[in-house]
Structure 1
Amino acid sequence: MSTLNHSRFDTVLLAGMPVLFVALWSTGFIGAKFGLPHAEPFTFLFVRFVLTLMLLVPLVRLFKGGWPQGLRLWGHIGVSGMLVHGAYLGGVFYGIYLGMPAGLAALLVGLQPLLTATLASPLLGERITAIQWIGLLLGLAGIVMVLGSKLDPGAALFQGFGLGALASILAALAGITLGTLYQKRFCTGMPLLSGTVVQYLAAGCLLGLGALLFEERSIDWSPTFVLTMAWLVLVLSISAILLLMALIRRGEASRVASLFYLVPPVTALQAWWLFDERLPLIGLVGMVVTIIGVVLAVRYKPAGQA
């Protein structure tokens, strides 16, 4: 392959990383819907992380990846893992387990880009332009249109779930937001593959403790559960998370976080395909608004920033 063709291939590959990440990440809510009837949330996630570590550790040795240097970096990586993986996934799965609709959960967690952009300026010194703020607000409006079109206007907000489910989802929102900022601030020197191992180890310990203290730890190893677990381990916990780590390393935290605006619309499309859930016209319009917002938030940055 010539140098020019190789450069073009790299450009296409890098441009496609966000698209692939969104497609993979959005399947997490679908996986929760398939798997939670067969296992309690913390038990489910603990098994998922154990299986993931069994695959990742040999990969570190295979690719001869170095391990994080120094106990301080190990500690920072562990904290980011407990936030990005432990708090986020534990909160989402537990909220859905307690009865919150997956669509509403996705909508609330979809507030992350605005929260991240707001905090990135004082915490990381990232400057957010007016066009980026417009993009972030358009993205928020878009996900409200997409998922709001699927809610029953006559139903009470808390019908079918209580404050515990809402608190779980808000904990997930705080976890993924603070984890993204924390990793950008303190973990820039972490090796991608072995650093992910450390993150999963820390998150697995946190979720294992939750399963030990609050759950019966019983699992129905049905074919549906096994296939769901295989998908979540191979596609979500390995492929999608490595993409996320690479994206965080390449861009500002607020620009990476804006990709999460695309997750609820893509999740809605997957639910329509898998569960025959209708998507009204306002939902389709909302998807277009969301995509425009993401483009504005990701592509336009302050002058002088790389």
Structure 2
Amino acid sequence: MTGGHRNLKGSLIALAFVVVYGSGFVGGRYGLPYAEPLYYLAIRFGTTAVVLFVLVICLRIDWPRSGYIHLIISGILLQGVFSVGVFYALYRGMTPAVSALIIALQPIVVWLMVSAVTARKVRPLSVLALVGGVVGVAITVYRGLESSSGLTPANIAFGFLGLAGVSTGQFYFQMKNPGAHPLVNGFVQSGSSAVVMLAGALIFEKGVIHWTPKLLFSELWMSVGVSIGALSLLFILMRSESADRVASYFYGVPIAAGLIAWPVLGQRPTVSQIVGFTVIVISIIAFNRSSRSPGAVPADNSLAAERR
């Protein structure tokens, strides 16, 4: 496959990931009022694990001989800790705008981790693009920040817990690079996250669940569409792209979430949001161009290989 075709394929996968993953913020908000966060997540991840297990068996996918501990650790961080932080912050009253702004720091956190591990040269364009992405997200959500409620120390802590989970989970996965099939990755990570979520729910929550059509639809989409579809695409990206370049795609999530919320929740994008979306797209393009400059690590190499 030529470099141009490889870049086009990677771009299309990244675009699909951003759209489906961004829909998760809308899908979660759609069903969260009908269940406590940990029970909601336990149902979501449990359903995902069952579906993936059936697919792995039916498709006769080989199970890896080792690496399960790395999949469990990265899964609990990337799916469990991230989701707990975001969902509890929203459940306790934090607006999606504030949550999105906190999670938008992820590309910078991952970039710092990668730079520290690989000791590679810091490129000014990369720094400028990462900062531009945060500025774009801030422009996109600033109206939500103006009218935000629930901005308490506890909710901010939950938001940063989610940031820590998704950043360290992605970084850890790419550093260890287990090499398992994406469906096996998803099954082990979702299954382990479901166990942790259920244990937490039994200890900390009351078990309030209202089985409404909205909750069922939300759980179905979050289980199949997001946990299977989006995360399978993420696994593919993490096996073929550098960790910081994958993280830069998360800047596009607020764009997808905002556009999907328009028909689903009736939230029409404002002029400021459109401007913010534009800044985000430019920042992603600039960052990826800087990471593909001469001397950069080839896309097929994992972070583990880059360390060597």
Same fold (TM over 0.5): yes
2:252 pairs, out of 251, 258, 262, with 262
Q: 1:9 to 1:198 in 2, by over 3 A?
A: same
SS at 2:259 equivalent: helix
Letter in 1 for 2:278: V
Aligned to 2:107: 113
Aligned to 2:294: 303
Aligned to 1:131: 125
1:218 deviates by 2.6
> Structure 2: how far apart are the matches of 1:203 and 1:125?
32
Q: 1:10 to 1:253 in 2, by over 3 A?
A: closer
Letter in 2 for 1:104: V
2:17 pairs, out of 17, 21, 31, with 21
Alpha carbons 2:71, 2:178 under 8 Å: kept: no
Alpha carbons 1:139, 1:293 under 8 Å: kept: yes
Aligned to 1:53: 49
Aligned pairs for 1:200-239 (under 5 A) are 200-239=190-229
> Structure 2: how far apart are the matches of 1:172 and 1:243?
20
Alpha carbons 1:52, 1:237 under 8 Å: kept: yes
SS at 1:216 equivalent: coil
1:204 deviates by 1.2
Q: 1:294 to 1:271 in 2, by over 3 A?
A: same
Structure 2 residues not aligned, in runs of 5+: 299-308
Aligned to 1:151: 145
Alpha carbons 1:188, 1:249 under 8 Å: kept: no
1:94 pairs, out of 85, 88, 93, with 88
Aligned to 2:38: 42
CA RMSD of aligned residues (A): 2.1
Q: Deviations over 1:184-239 (max 9, x none)?
A: 11134333221221111221121111101111123111111111111111100101
> Structure 1: how far apart are the matches of 2:281 and 2:143?
17
Aligned pairs for 1:166-205 (under 5 A) are 166-205=156-195
Structure 1 residues not aligned, in runs of 5+: none
Letter in 1 for 2:98: L
> Structure 2: how far apart are the matches of 1:146 and 1:237?
26
Letter in 2 for 1:261: Y
Percent pairwise identity: 30
> Structure 2: how far apart are the matches of 1:282 and 1:299?
26
1:12 deviates by 4.9
Letter in 1 for 2:49: L
1:48 deviates by 0.8
Q: 1:126 to 1:203 in 2, by over 3 A?
A: farther
Letter in 2 for 1:92: V
TM-score (norm 2): 0.90
TM-score (norm 1): 0.90
Alignment of 1:248 with 2:238, yes or no, is yes
Aligned length: 296
Alpha carbons 1:98, 1:164 under 8 Å: kept: no
2:62 pairs, out of 40, 52, 66, with 66
Alpha carbons 1:98, 1:161 under 8 Å: kept: no
Q: Deviations over 1:147-187 (max 9, x none)?
A: 113332xx5x6x33422221111100000000111001113
1:294 deviates by 0.5
